[in-house]
Amino acid sequence: MPGNFDDIEIGQVVHLGEVVIEPQILDAFIAAFTPGWTADRGAPDSMTYAIWHRLDAVASTAWPQTKRLGVDALRWARNPPAGETLRGRMTVMAKDPVGEGKGIVIAQHDLLDGEGRLVFSCLTRSVFAR
């Protein structure tokens, strides 16, 4: 990701990393947060969101992003099974300067499985430094 708002390009794709859904982590998440869910159904929606959020949080630590304004249009397409590798990507959809010191970036975020199928997606609005 570029060092400031003005260097970000519409259509730019940023890879957010990847994570494997470990069976023991899936079981622990289900026990702690989704009573009644069973591991044979795959990762629950809340775990899929948590995986995306972690990938996004780690990737964005070096970005000039100063604030996340919103996460909208959340969509879950499937519940990936234990052992599945998920990879995150962000596509810049729009940007708008707001004064001299900051700008808003609207981005599409996707989690894809090992075969490239959509698992989860959302739109974000974030403030970036100029």
Give per-residue pLDDT as tens, 28-43.
Answer: 999 999 999 999 999 9
pLDDT of residue 4: 85
The ranges of the chain with pLDDT < 50 are none
pLDDT of residue 124: 98
CA angle 58–60–107, rounded 5-degree value: 125
Q: For the chain, which residues make up each domain, given as ranges?
A: 5-129
Three-state SS string over 28-57 comes to HHHHHHCCCCCHHHCCCHHHHHHHHHHHHH
Report CA dihedral (64, 70, 76, 80) to the nearest 10 degrees: 40
AA identity, residue 74: L
CATH ID of 5-129, from 3.10.129.10, 3.40.50.1820, 1.10.540.10, 3.40.50.11720: 3.10.129.10
